[in-house]
Structure 1
Amino acid sequence: MKVMIAFATVEGQTEKIAGFVEEELRKNGHEVSVVKVTHEGQTPAFEDYDKVILAASVHERRHPKSFEVLLASQKEMLANKSTLLLSVSLKAAFEDGLEEAQDYVDEMKLRTGFEPDKEALVAGAVRSSSYDYFQSQVVTHVLLGEHGHDSRGREQEFTDWERLTSITKEFVEA
């Protein structure tokens, strides 16, 4: 099976996720290509692949603009492929945040007109070293504080790697 993973990342967790998925798929004998979506107008050769995994992080309720532009401009091509959307966010790390994390996906689908065949909410990570003061306060007090996590000065990963393996394996084998 030929699989493309196209991803956009802000702090690096989605890139780590894309690399992990690539490694897992290769271990199972699949041919995998990975494309980092870094600018608007970038167009990977989706037509050469049987399945496409699209992964992007959420910041301030939105996936990266370059990723959304890609989905909007390639929605017809992607409609002819089997697609899995991985939406990576901190909200997805907590049961009480799943509804809001799904809202991010639904809003993106409305903006882009793209409807993936499958979608999954994936818990992201805190990369404290990449935050300015304001961002660190929002993460500490708004996103994590109510859950008893203190991220000040620390990196903290919430991604469930076993669940991610299961999701991608099920998608590729379907």
Structure 2
Amino acid sequence: MRILMIYGTTEGHTRELCNFAASRLRERDLPTTVEEAGHDPHHPDPSPYDVVFLAASLHVGRYQPRLMEYARTHHATLNKIRSAFISVSLSAAGENPHDWEGLEQCLARFEHETLWTPSAVHHAAGAIRYSQYDFFKRLAMKHIAAKRGQRTVLSRDYDLTDYDALSRFVLDFVGAPAAAADAKAG
């Protein structure tokens, strides 16, 4: 089985999540290629792969344009093969029904604009990377975190991702046994 992961990222967290997921798949001897959605929306061709994951982070209600263009370019192939979407956002870290409703609206718009309907979707909590933000974005992110009940300090970064849930999602989607993964990772 050959697996492809294409990602869009702003601060690098989605890339890290894809590399983490790929390492879990490679532990099962499942060849996995990880690439960033780039300037050429035709590369790489997903058709030789058995399973394709697309991953993107949500910023101000939108996913990265290059990842969206890749999905739109390859929607016919992605709709025919086993393909899944990993949506990364801070809203996924909480339990606020309004935030989850917003995530579903963003996902619906993504599917409408790309013409791709993933077979499965995983909402992964993102990260707060104060060290990478300018002054105004740091203040805005601190306000957003506080509004959602997250106490943060500007001098450190926060990773809110549930890595066990992400691992289970990718392993379940490809049909790899998760129990062996947990024993090997521990």
Give me the TM-score of the superposition, normalised by structure 1: 0.94
Give the aligned partner of residue 169 of structure 1.
171
Q: Are the aligned partners of 1:40 and 1:67 in contact in 2 as well (CA < 8 Å)?
A: no
For the 8 Å contact 2:14–2:57, the answer to whether it is kept is yes
Match of 2:156 among 125, 148, 154: 154
How far apart are 1:144 and its partner, in Å? Answer: 3.9
Aligned-partner SS, 1:48: coil
After TM superposition, give the deviation of residue 7 of structure 1 in Å. Answer: 0.7
Quote the offset at 1:148 in angstroms: 3.3
Paired residue secondary structure (2:38): coil
Cα distance change on mapping 1:11 and 1:144 into 2, 3 Å: farther
Q: Is the 8 A contact 1:102 1:121 kept in 2?
A: no
Shift of residue 125 of structure 1? 0.4
Q: Which stretch shows the higher mean deviation, 84-93 or 132-141? A: 132-141
Cα deviation per residue 1:111-168 (whole Å; 9 max; x = unaligned)?
Answer: 2111111111110101112112221122111244431322412100000000001111
Identity %: 27
Structure 1 position 9 matched with structure 2 position 18? no
Structure 2 unaligned segments of length 5 or more: list them: 177-186
- After superposition, residues 36-51 of structure 1 pair within 5 angstroms as 36-39=36-39, 41-51=41-51
How many correspondences in the alignment? 174
Show CA shifts across 1:67-108 (max 9, x none).
Answer: 111111110111121011000000111011322222221121
Superposition deviation, residue 40 in structure 1 = 5.2
- In 1: Cα distance, 2:139 partner to 2:89 partner: 17
Supply the distance in 2 between the matched residues of 1:40 and 1:143 (Cα, whole angstroms).
Answer: 35
Q: TM-score, normalised by structure 2?
A: 0.88
Residue 110 (structure 2) aligned to one of 102, 108, 118: 108
Larger mean Cα displacement after TM superposition, 149-158 or 117-126: 149-158
Counterparts of 2:84 and 2:40 in 1: how far apart (Å)? 21
- 1:122 aligns to 2:108 (yes or no): no
Q: Which letter maps to 1:25?
A: L
Moved more, 21-30 or 106-115: 106-115
Name the CA distance, whole Å, in 2 between partners of 1:39 and 1:151. Answer: 36
The change in CA–CA distance for 1:143 and 1:113 in structure 2 (over 3 A counts) is farther
Q: Deviations over 1:12-46 (max 9, x none)?
A: 11011010011000001211111111325342121
Distance in 2 between the 1:137 and 1:8 partners? 24
Q: Show the counterpart of 1:89.
A: 89
3-state SS of paired residue (1:21): helix
Q: Is the 8 A contact 1:91 1:143 kept in 2?
A: no
Q: Which amino acid aligns with 2:46?
A: F
Residue type of the alignment partner of 1:38: G
